[in-house]
Structures are given as structure tokens and as C-alpha cells.
Structure 1
Amino acid sequence: MATKKKKAPLNTDSDIKLIRKANELVEARYKFDIWETRVFAYMLTLIKHNDTDFNEYTINTGDIVREFNLHDSGLVYDSIKKAAEKLLDKKVEILRTTAEGKREYFKTHLVASTANPEEGAKENYIKLSFHPALKQFLLELKARYLVYDIRNILSLTSIYSVRLFELLKQYQKIGKRKFMLDELKELLSIESHEYQLYGHFKGLIKRAEKDLAKYTDIYFQFEEEIQKRKVVAVTFYIFENTKNQRLKVESVASAKTTEKGIEIIAVDNVVETLFQKVEKYVTMQQVKKWVGEVPAEQIERAITYTLHTLASGKSIENIGGFLNTMVYTPNLFDKYEVKKEKVKKVVKRNTEQNSEISMLKENINMLQQEYEKALAGLDKRYLLENPVLYQQIIDKIQANSFYDHKQSLENNLERDSIKGLRTAILFEMFPEYQSLMNQFNKEMTRLHNRLHSLQ
């Protein structure tokens, strides 16, 4: 019998689960698949704000299924358990600053142990514990750390969308972040043989652009820097996504955990968090005065507006005084919106100056995305809503000589040879797949021919 995907429950502020990690860990080098990402993210929500040591965390696998609104099936539960086991072998490389002020690369495992019930047991859980070396990056965080609501990433199915969300969320208050292309690929743990063509890599960014706009509390637009007809850097302009706003984690004023399980941040932590953003310009005492007299959201807007103004290159003689004026300006939100619209217009104007070659490349990327979207629609109709048929296809793939039994099913399905095998099976069973590909190839050939004539 087919199992239907459960309808996602409406999230309220009582559902809030926070993820906290030091900026060094956000920017660390590690590579997860989507299942490992989900399990590790859920682990992070189990750390309490005042914890001084790690525990062994017990996670009911059904909680992950419900939290991420996944299909309630045996394959999903197996994937979660396998992800917990694979996390044991994962290492992370972190660029950290020592007590002596030296910069060094620090490598460690992420997870120290895992456990699950014996075969045949009725319980369905996994137990995991963080590696002790991660304490400095997850516990007693005092400065330079990221906090966000896990609900932002629950619907993201691309590991790159998750990583890009965190990297941009760090710079939300500044409003933009520039990466050299090689730097960005390294931060996303993309290996040298992956996404070698920029057009393919840009497709990854475009998908993240859609994902974040649809599901998270920020969205972005991006601008490419081109040298000698080659993209060398990408600048992201980051905006607040008002349609997906979560509880303002800095605005709640108690250090206790309520009966509903909402973790609250203390006023002192609000002051400290705000002060970290403006410590170059004002004193801690000044920030405390603001918090005592002005709503935290208004202070946030003032800081964001000021940092945006500085980032735009505008000179401010007395930044501290400017900040203070902005904090006590109730209608600042309107000014900030005007500033944001100006940035949007600049990005749009630069984009419109692209040559026909750039436009053709964009059309090719869009066609590829639409093709993948149409394929996903067929997959949903024939496979996702029919687990029995899906398993039959998986059985055929696993029986083929190209299937590598040393790798996971997810990794195999990402290999070109297995993708080709899967396509051949679907073409044979469903004519719609063949028709869709013929239409795609015809239009793609036309675009490539035009592009070739211009180069």
C-alpha cells in the first residue's frame, strides 16, 4: 500500500528549535549528504543555551520524519539510521584562532559515538554524541556565532542551499557578502572535479536563490564579477524575507525554559549579541541603555540600516552618534526599505547590462532547471506516490553491474552511469519521459547553436 506524505503541521513560536554554532564552524570544510545534514542539524537543536558539556542525545527517528515533513516509509527510516552511522566517519577542517592569536587549521571528527536498538526491537531511535573537540564551537558561545531557527532549513533538500543559507545568514546585518569563486566552492566543499563549468555551478546558486526565497527568513540577489570573459567572484545582496519571518530570537527576555519547551534568550544575551555588531562604534553601556528604552526590533533595524549605509561606501564622520540617532528614529524601517530598494535597482541595472551571450547562458540554465522540474513532476506522479513501483526500479538499479555496493544508494543515484541507467528504465516504462527529453534536447540544441555563433 502506498504511503502518503503527511501534511506539515502549522509551525508556531512554541515549535522553535534554535541552532547555534561558532562562525568558524559555519565556515568549516566538511561535506554532508542531505540525510547527514538533517540528523546533524537536529542534534544541534538539542544543545541548550546554558549547557557546559555534551550529552548523549537520544533522537526518535519519527521526530526527524515529522520535523522535516518526510515520507513515513521504511526507506526514510533506514536513511536516517545510516546517516547517523556515516557521521561517525565525518571529519571537519576548521580555520581557528589560537589563544596566542595564531591562525591554524584544526581537524576533528564531528561525532564521537552512535547507537541504535538491536535488530527486531520495537523502539525506533538513534543515539549520538558530539566529539568533545567541538565544545569550543558549540558550547558557551560568547562572540562571533550564528543563531537561527531550524524551521528555515526544514524544507531545503539541497545541501548547498543549506550551506549557502548559513553563510549568508552570518552577513544578514551587513547586507552583502562577496566571495571569490574558488573560495565559495571551497566553503561549499565542492571538489575540483565537480561543477567545473560555471554554468553548472550557477545553476546551484540559482536553485539556492529560489529555495531561500521560498522557505527561509532571508533571500538574496547576486552579481557576478567578470574578468576576461570569466566569472571570478560573486557578490550576494542579502535581504530580510518578510513572508517567512520567525520569532526574533534576540527579543525575548528570560533565561528559563518554559513548559512548552521554548528556549528563551536572556536580556543580557540580547545586549551582548547587539554589542558584538557595533562594538567598534559604541560602548556596552550605550547598548544597555538602548535595550532598556527601545524595542529590540527597532535597535536591530537601526544597526542594519547603519551597516548597510557604511557598506554602500558612504562616509559617516561620527558613526556612534549616527547609530544613536537611528536607534531613536521610529520610522527607520521606511528609510531602510528605501535603501534596500535602491540596492535592488543597482543589481537589476547591472544585470540588464549583460550581453546576449550572458542572456543565452542564463536561458540555458533556466531550461535545464525547468527540465529538472518537469522530471521531478513525473517522478512524483509515477514514483514518489507509488513506493512499491519506486522500490522495483531501485531493485533493477542495484542489480546492475554499474551499481557500486560500497557506496550508499544516495551516492549511487548521483553518479552519471546510474543516472543514465535510471533514465533508460523510465523511458522503457513511461513514454512521457522520452517525449519530455526530446523537447528539451531540441530547444537546448537551438540555444547552444546560437551561443556558438556568437563566440
Structure 2
Amino acid sequence: MKRSNVVQPYDLESINIKNWVTKSNILIESTYKLSLQEQRILLIMASKVQPNDETLKTYRFRAKDFIEIVGNRKGTGFYSYLKEIVNGLQTKVLTIKEKGRQRNYNWVITSIYEENEGYITLQFHPSLKYLFLELKEKFTSYQLENVVRLNSVYSIRIYELLKQYERLRKRELTLEELRHFLAIEPTKYKQYGHFKSKVLAVAQKEINNKTDIRFEFVEIKTGRKVTSIEFIIDSSPTLNGVSSVKEKEPKLNQPPLELTDNEKENRLQYELVSLGVKPEKIEWVLSEFTKEQVERNIKYTQDRLITGDITHPHSYVIKSIQKDYAKASQESKIIKPKKPIRKELVPDFIKNADNNQQIFENSTLQEKQKLFLGENGTQKDFEEILIRIRELKKKLVLNSKEPTKEEVEKAHELAMKEVLQNMKKDLKKRQEVGLEPRLVNDFENKELQKIYKSFLQSQTSSEV
């Protein structure tokens, strides 16, 4: 720990909770033990790392800017407490296990607290560069505001572990793996009931109320003992903020300042990187198209990725920006608002066949297809319904109990049966109006492709 009265040659950094944090998945699945305040300081540092940085830079902050984010310990002067945290950071160790080797790193190589001036200077250890920079694949990005609102170190770690699997919508971890990731000592929360109430329940409440994802969890048992947890992950459309959080929130929830052009560009860079776009493509996109066009098409691509409609986001987002799919989609909704999709997938025009039969008899195949889609929605809508039906069925079966492994398998089986029934209804209605079955390749979701292919084969076999 060094004390310096000399002004350091580093630019003064601001703290913006809208900045993005991008980490290698290796780091997210590593083992380390930090206090909540230490976690927040390191996350603030991580939010300053830019995708085009060549090295991990040194950052200098005003001490007072940390006050509302880091928090304070009762009975301790804030500046003394912050000095203690900054000093302690240099002793904290990160453990990384790769290819049979265990490596231990210090988090920071430089930590200077300028008491008289009220500044803090921090720098990540250079050896951590590969965990924050030049990330081509296997990384996770999220906005800083999602984690600085959380008041438990376990909530922060669980958020990252689930955010990593947000696209897949679920993640299963053994209790042993989860305790390892969270760095919980063997003697702490030994009884599962304590672990559930002190770790899982707290994280669920915080993450569901304060972040951009939500989760439910299913307890998987071996015999009578809970041995694994299956997390079911959903994306929240917006941060819920103060209005949906009953406990008192820190002043962080005040409306953030308008982002500068540089901050907007940095955010777009991070989002494009997270979709797998190469640096040279990012540079071209940001110079060729307006930030507004890039931003809305990134969001359009992310929405389609969440629902499993696309499998190659790095190429799709570029095409989307070029052709401005997002704007075209918005305009089509204005011209012709999409009618709500019926859960049972039975369109009104089929129910009222007497009034519509002549229309279909006198229509071309293209017109039939258009009318059918107008009542039922698009292929994407159909896939979304099947996915929702499957997940909802499993939740209903497993709700409010501690299922055995056999019960979990039974829930999956019932969910699959429900999906197949809806595919059968859809096929029947298409045949009634003279349309061919959907093609397997029409499905973007790979799992639904397999299910639908098997379904069509079973229909062919039954007809023979």
C-alpha cells in the first residue's frame, strides 16, 4: 500500500452503471472469495475495460464516487473503510484451473489511496489480460447496473453463472459445483435447508427483482437427498427498478445521465462483440451506419437469439443492420397489427369454416398461406409457443414440491407430449385449408427441428 501526494499521470475516470462488463467464462467459473465491497470495486474496474484496449490500464477515481456503490460499514469513517478495502485487494487471490494446472493470481498489481486528494488508483494484474481482453468466444457480457444493485456476494456470482447460460434458458449444477463456484467453506451451510434459505432464496429474490434476468429452480434428488439444482432462466424485458422492489434501494436507482457519444459507441462495441462479430466488422459497421440503426438491429437480433430463432448471430446481426430488419419489422406491425396468437393454435377462420370455406376454395396457395399466417402468426410465433408450452408444462408439474429424478423425467415426458399434441393440431389445421406441412428446415430452433422431424416420420408411419 503506497501513499502519494503527487498527482498521478492518469486520467480521472467516472463511474457509469450503464457501462458493460465483459468477462471470459473461465473467470466466471473460477474460484475466489471476496467481500461485497471488494466485488463492487473490481466490477467497476471491469466496466472501464474497453474492447479495443491493448493492455489492462490503470484507472484513477474520486473516492467519493465509490460511496453510494461500495457502501460503508457501520461505526467506520467511509474514507478509512475504503482505504482498508483498497489495501486488502492486493492480498486477495484468484484461482484458475486450466488443463490440469492450478494458477493463483493477485487481482490487482497497483492500489494507491491518495488520502489528502481523495483519489484511488487501481490496476488489474497484467496476467489477467486474457480474461478481459481479446475475447473471441466463450465470454459473457452484462451491464454494470445489474450487479451493483445486488447486496449479496452469492447473488452476484449466481447472476453471472446464469447470465452465461441465458441463451440456453437453463443450467444444471450439482450442489458441490455450486458451492465450489461460490467459494462456500465446507463447514458453512452444511444443511441443504440453510443453503437454500441463505443462498438460493436470497439470490432468487434479488436477481428476479433487480436484474435483466429471472430464474426458478428445481431441486434434483438422489434418493431423498438434494444433489443438484436445475435453474430455469428467463430474460426480463427491463430492469424492474425501485417501483417493484419493496426494500429500500440505494440512490443508484436515480435516472442515469444521458450517455455520451463515446459511451454509446463503447456499448455498441461490447454488444457486437458479445454476438461474435469480428473487430474489423465492428469498425466498418460503426463507420457505415448510424448508431440508432445499429442499436435497434442489435436489439432485434438479441431478441431473436433469446427465442432460439437464429443460430449464427454474428452474421445475422450484420445482415440485419445492413437491411435494417428492425425498422422493417416495426413498419409491418404499424401497417397490419398482428393478431394475438391463440394458445391452442386453432385459428378462428377454421372454427368458423362455414363463413371462410369459400374464401379458401377460391384462393391461391399464396393467399391461403397469407390468411393462415394472419390468424396464426409467423413460424417464429409458432416456435415461441411450443417453447413456452414445454417450459410451462414442466413448471406446473414440478411446482411446489421436491421432485425425485424420476418425477423430473416424467415432467420432461409430459412437456414433450404437450408439444407433439400442438404440432399435431397445427398439421391438421393446415391440411384442412389445403396447405402442406411445415418443413423441418423452417424451424430455427435445433431441438424443435429434431422433434418435428420425428413427428412427421411418425405421421408417415401411421398413414402407411
> What TM-score range do you get, normalising by the shorter chain?
0.5 to 0.7
Q: Which position in structure 1 is the counterpart of 2:81? A: 79
Indicate the larger mover: 75-84 or 299-308: 299-308
Q: Tell me: CA distance 1:206–1:62, structure 2 relative to 1, closer, same or farther (3 Å).
A: same
Worse-superposed segment, 294-303 or 53-62:
294-303
**Match for 2:225 among 219, 225, 230?**
230
| Contact 1:17 1:263 survives alignment (8 Å) | no
Q: Could you say which residue in structure 2 is the equivalent of 1:32?
A: 34
Cα displacement string for residues 328-375 of structure 1 (whole angstroms, at most 9, x for unaligned residues): 8966478537634641441242133448xxxxxxxxxxxxxxxxxxxx
Rounded to whole Å, the distance in 1 between the matches of 2:92 and 2:156 is: 18
State which of 340, 346, 350 in structure 1 corresponds to 2:398.
Answer: 350
Task: Classify the secondary structure of the residue corresponding to 1:242.
Answer: coil
**What pairs up with 1:212-291 in 2 under 5 angstroms?**
212-244=207-239, 259=260, 262-265=263-266, 273-275=274-276
Sort the Cα spacing of 1:73 and 1:139 in 2 relative to 1 into closer, same or farther, 3 A: farther
What's the CA shift string for 1:156-197, capped at 9, x where partnerless? Answer: 110000000011011111101100110110000011111101
Aligned to 2:124: 130
CA distance in 1, matches of 2:41, 2:33: 14
- Given that residues 141 and 274 in structure 2 are in contact (C-alpha distance below 8 angstroms), is that contact kept between their aligned partners in structure 1? no
SS of the residue 1:295 aligns to: helix
Q: 1:141 Cα deviation (Å)?
A: 2.0
Match of 1:58 among 57, 60, 70: 60
**Counterpart in the other structure of 2:185:** 191
Partners of 1:42 and 1:64 within 8 A in 2: no
| CA separation of 1:112 and 1:337: change in aligned 2, threshold 3 A | farther
Alignment correspondent of 2:101: 104
Q: Distance in 1 between matches of 2:301 and 2:207?
A: 25
- Paired residue secondary structure (2:151): coil
Alpha carbons of structure 1 residues 38 and 335: separation in structure 2 relative to 1, 3 Å: same
Does structure 2 retain, via aligned residues, the 8 Å contact 1:174–1:307?
no
Task: Tell me whether 1:167 sits opposite 2:167 in the alignment.
Answer: no
CA distance in 2, matches of 1:261, 1:66: 25
Identical counterparts, % of pairs: 26
Native 8 Å contact 1:35 1:79 kept in 2:
no
How far apart, CA to CA, are the structure 2 residues paired with 1:50 and 1:144? 18
Describe the SS at the equivalent of 1:80.
helix
- 1:274/1:243 CA distance change after superposition, 3 Å: closer
Write the mapping of 1:309-324 to structure 2, written as runs, cut at 5 A: none
Tell me the equivalent position of 2:51: 49
Is the Cα–Cα contact under 8 Å of residues 171 and 230 in structure 2 kept in the other structure? Answer: yes
- What SS does structure 1 have at the residue aligned with 2:228? strand
Tell me by how many angstroms 1:77 deviates. Answer: 3.2
Conserved in 2, the CA contact under 8 Å of 1:68 and 1:155?
A: no
Q: Which residue of 2 aligns with 1:202?
A: 196
State the number of aligned residues: 301
Query: 2:301 maps to what in 1?
Result: 299
Q: What is the CA RMSD across the aligned residues, in angstroms?
A: 3.8
CA 334–81 in structure 1, closer or farther in 2 if over 3 Å, else same: farther
* Separation in 2, partners of 1:81, 1:186: 30
Distance 2:205 2:104 in 1: 33
CA distance in 2, matches of 1:73, 1:264: 42
SS in 2 for 1:82: helix
The amino acid of 2:79's aligned partner reads Y
Following the alignment from structure 1 to structure 2, what is the Cα–Cα distance between the partners of residues 307 and 181? 32
Mean Cα displacement is larger for which, 15-24 or 235-244? 15-24
Q: 1:177 to 1:307 in 2, by over 3 A?
A: farther
Deviations 1:247-267 (A, max 9, x none): xxxxxxxxxxx7465152587
Larger radius of gyration: 2
SS at match of 2:101: strand
Q: Which residue of 2 aligns with 1:339?
A: 387
Matched AA of 2:18: I
Q: Distance in 2 between matches of 1:234 and 1:57?
A: 39
- With structure 1 as the length reference, what TM-score do the two structures score? 0.58
The counterpart of 1:92, out of the listed 85, 94, 104, is 94
